[in-house]
Homo-oligomer: A and B are copies of this chain.
Amino acid sequence: MRPDDISEVRKLHLFEDMQDSNFQTMLNAAYLQTFPAQSELIREGDSADFLYVVMEGSIELFAKSNGRETTMAIVRPVNTFILAAVLKDAVYLMSARTVERSRVLMIPTDNVRTAFESDPDFARSIVTELAGCYRAVIKDHKNLKLRSAVERLANRLIKYHAEQGANGVVELFHDKRTLAALLGMTPENLSRAFNTLKPYGVEVKGNCIKLTDLAALDVLAKPNQLIDDRTV
């Protein structure tokens, strides 16, 4: 890894409390690699060889069973994925592929575990990160079980809108079919859900969406801190 890359990685929350020597040791055998769009990085069922950190781009976590496939999450910078598998030294429960060209840090499982053992500050960071991931999935699960498809879409739009500066425009950074899978519906149904939201000020043009009546959308979506707020 280049010195520039190393200092960039160093700044991540997960690593910033770590002691220098431990950090150096851990990154010793790590890769920082750029993958083109649609590269498969890991496959569910494989044993966890690396912890992954998304530096740039976006990664789709997905899973299959019995011929069906669904998107579990989209991971954006700067976040880790499949941390739990690494810590338990188990197989991955999800596959991962790049959505777009992405830069990814790969840290060998053994190095992460060793660093965890020898660096209490890192251990605390790991736990915070892992607990955050856990709570994110719980929220996803609540979202899926407690809301209809249209409500899920509305809330997702509101969330993206807030994340992207709340200026009335939302840009989707993945195709609609991926968004559909992420929200637990078919592409056709997503298209119809967008139509349903039209009277609530949702104007779709390609992957750019204008929200012209946030108040109305809010009434429909009924956002809930304990589902939608990622900082909680």
Chain A interface (Cβ < 8 Å from any Cβ of B): 44-45, 63-66, 68-70, 72, 83-85, 87-88, 90-91, 93-94, 116-117, 120, 123-124, 126-128, 130-135, 137-142, 144-147, 151, 184, 222, 224-227, 232
A-B contact pairs, 11 of them (CB 8 A): A66-B222, A84-B130, A84-B135, A85-B131, A87-B131, A88-B135, A90-B135, A93-B232, A116-B124, A141-B144, A144-B145
Contact of A93 among B44, B93, B116, B135 (CB under 8 A): B135
Contact of A226 among B44, B69, B126, B142 (CB under 8 A): B44
| Contact B140 A90, beta carbon cutoff 8 Å | no
Q: CA A212 – CA B226 in complex, angstroms?
A: 43
Residues of B within 8 A of A65 (CB): 142, 146-147, 222, 224, 226-227
Q: Of all chain B residues, which has the CB nearest A61?
A: B138
Q: Of all chain B residues, which has the CB nearest A143?
A: B65
| Contact A88 B141, beta carbon cutoff 8 Å | no
How many whole Å from A113's CB to the nearest CB in chain B? 9
Contact of A232 among B83, B91, B131 (CB under 8 A): B91
Q: Known contacts being A94-B138, A141-B141, is A66 close to B127, with CB within 8 Å?
A: no
Q: Known contacts being A66-B146, A146-B64, A146-B70, is A127 close to B135, with CB within 8 Å?
A: no
| Contact B146 A63, beta carbon cutoff 8 Å | yes
Q: Which of A66, A85, A91, A124 has the most CB of B within 10 A?
A: A66
Contact of A84 among B131, B144, B145 (CB under 8 A): B131
Q: Of all chain B residues, which has the CB nearest A118?
A: B120
Beyond the given A87-B131, A93-B139, A144-B144, please list 15 additional residue pairs across the A-B interface where CB-CB is below 8 A: A45-B225, A65-B142, A66-B151, A66-B224, A69-B146, A72-B138, A72-B145, A83-B131, A84-B131, A84-B134, A93-B135, A93-B142, A93-B232, A116-B127, A134-B134
Q: Of all chain B residues, which has the CB nearest A181?
A: B145
